[in-house]
């Protein structure tokens, strides 16, 4: 089917552009819903949800991410605690800090901002977080629960994508979903979520990675294409089936002297050429990014209300 035929057949398409999946607006809706629930909890005499974050070292991007998470906590009425540790902190000291937060009855959720300095084992630290407080969904217990389709804290980025698909009522059952990238925080959990029995889900999933052969051919078979490869504008129009739903997880800062800041953000998808042939697409910025923080807040609320582990 040609692109024009597709557009004529599919009433959801606002010619000439596809549906823009607005992550910024959806994230704000979710934050408003969370804030309303927190207000109810407080009115009933309950405790404010409390998120703790551990930041090790002075990495600029990590400071920005953690800062945005703390600010988002304030917006929805959560308490937040930011523990800053020097880059030279020993692994033992970091593990003890995690343990202290595990034992703190006021704290509902704990995140350890990645990356960690090379002398610290991410696996050891992740595994020390109590699964009940693991609102990033990185611990083996939560990944296992997700795989079994049990209640679990789902890693924030894939969870944000699931919520976008749901709120935009994108059909996934019986569709072919191609995920590019198999990272533990995005691609792998995404593939599990799309394959599991539920909505969104029930898709036939192909998980592709750096050793995949003939990626473009596989991508062209996708009804839903989720791109988390970490390469700027890697996915071009010739890799996308007309009418596909395209979710772009990538974030890259590139120099742009026409901007006041001197840079702009782009994704893993060449938006200008893919948007006209997709039936729906997430932009960068304003797509998956804002949803990640909203999902983290949602997981923290779930923890405060003992909704996942009971």
Contact residue for ligand NAD among 95, 215, 218, 237 (CB under 6 A): 215
**Nearer Cβ to ligand NAD (107/165):** 165
Work out whether 178 is an interface residue with ligand NAD (CB under 6 A). Answer: no
**Candidates 69, 133, 175, 241; catalytic one:** 69
Are 48 and 66 spatial neighbours (Cβ–Cβ below 8 Å)?
Answer: no
Supply angle C-alpha 144, 114, 308, rounded to 5: 35
**Nearer Cβ to ligand NAD (182/220):** 182
Supply angle C-alpha 253, 244, 175, rounded to 5: 120
Q: Which runs of E-coded beta strand occur in 15-102?
A: 19-20, 50-56, 79-85
Contact residue for ligand NAD among 208, 282, 300, 302 (CB under 6 A): 208
**Candidates 22, 108, 134, 136; catalytic one:** 136
**Contact window for ligand NAD (CB under 6 A) among 12-20, 121-129, 194-202, 228-236:** 228-236
Contact residue for ligand NAD among 37, 230, 264, 273 (CB under 6 A): 230
CA neighbor of 289 nearest in space, from 27, 32, 33, 20:
27
Tell me how far apart the alpha carbons of residues 252 and 263 are, in angstroms, rounded to a whole number. Answer: 10
Q: How far apart are CB 231 and ligand NAD at their closest, in Å? A: 6
What is the footprint of ligand NAD within residues 184-203 (CB under 6 A)? 185-187
Residue 270 annotated to the active site: no
Q: Going by C-beta distance under 8 Å and a sequence separation of 6 or more, which residues neighbour residue 1?
A: 9, 242, 243
CA neighbor of 293 nearest in space, from 37, 64, 48, 59:
64
**Candidates 22, 113, 175, 241; catalytic one:** 113
Number of residues this chain uses to bind ligand NAD (CB under 6 A):
23
Residue 103 annotated to the active site: no
**Contact window for ligand NAD (CB under 6 A) among 2-10, 47-55, 89-97, 227-235:** 227-235
Are 54 and 110 spatial neighbours (Cβ–Cβ below 8 Å)?
Answer: yes
**Nearer Cβ to ligand NAD (130/252):** 252
Q: How far apart are CB 269 and ligand NAD at their closest, in Å? A: 11
Residue 113 annotated to the active site: yes
For the chain, helix, strand, coil in percent to 5 are 40, 15, 45
Q: 153 φ, ψ to 5°?
A: -80, 120
Angle in degrees, 0-180, between the axes of helices 288-304 and 60-76, rounded to the nearest 10: 60
**Nearer Cβ to ligand NAD (22/132):** 22
Work out whether 111 is an interface residue with ligand NAD (CB under 6 A). Answer: no
Q: Going by C-beta distance under 8 Å and a sequence separation of 6 or more, which residues neighbour residue 218?
A: 178, 206, 208, 212
The secondary element (H helix, E strand) that includes residue 157 is helix 156-167
Work out whether 182 is an interface residue with ligand NAD (CB under 6 A). Answer: yes
> Which positions are catalytic?
69, 113, 136
Instruction: Give the interface with ligand NAD as residue ranges (CB under 6 A).
Output: 157, 180-183, 185-187, 208-210, 212, 215, 228-230, 249-251, 268, 288-289, 292
């Amino acid at each position: 089917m040609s692109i024009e035929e597709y557009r004529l057949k599919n009433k959801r398409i606002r010619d000439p552009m596809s549906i823009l999946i607005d992550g910024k607006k959806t994230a704000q809706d979710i934050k408003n819903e969370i804030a309303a629930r927190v207000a109810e909890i407080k009115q009933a005499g309950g405790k404010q949800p409390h998120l703790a974050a551990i930041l090790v070292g002075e990495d600029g991007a990590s400071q920005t991410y953690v800062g945005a998470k703390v600010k988002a906590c304030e917006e929805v009425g959560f308490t937040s605690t930011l523990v800053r540790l020097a880059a030279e902190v020993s692994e033992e000291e970091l593990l003890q800090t995690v343990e202290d937060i595990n034992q703190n009855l006021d704290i509902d959720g704990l995140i350890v901002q990645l990356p960690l300095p090379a002398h610290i084992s991410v696996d050891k630290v992740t595994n020390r977080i109590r699964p009940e407080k693991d609102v990033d969904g990185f611990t083996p217990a939560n990944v296992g629960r997700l795989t079994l389709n049990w209640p679990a804290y789902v890693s924030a980025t894939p969870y944000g994508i699931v919520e976008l698909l749901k709120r935009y009522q994108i059909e996934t059952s019986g569709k072919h979903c191609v995920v590019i990238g198999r990272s533990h925080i995005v691609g792998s959990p995404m593939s599990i979520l799309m394959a599991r029995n539920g909505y969104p889900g029930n898709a036939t999933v192909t998980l592709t990675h750096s050793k995949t052969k003939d990626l473009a051919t596989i991508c062209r078979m996708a009804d839903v294409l989720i791109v988390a490869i970490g390469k700027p504008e890697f996915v071009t129009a010739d890799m996308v089936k007309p009418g596909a739903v395209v979710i772009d997880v990538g974030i890259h800062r590139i120099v742009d002297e026409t901007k006041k800041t001197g840079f702009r953000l782009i994704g893993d998808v060449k938006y200008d050429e893919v948007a006209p042939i997709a039936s729906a697409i997430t932009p960068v910025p304003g797509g998956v990014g804002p949803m990640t923080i909203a999902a983290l807040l949602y997981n923290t609320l779930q923890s405060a209300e003992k909704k996942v582990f009971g």
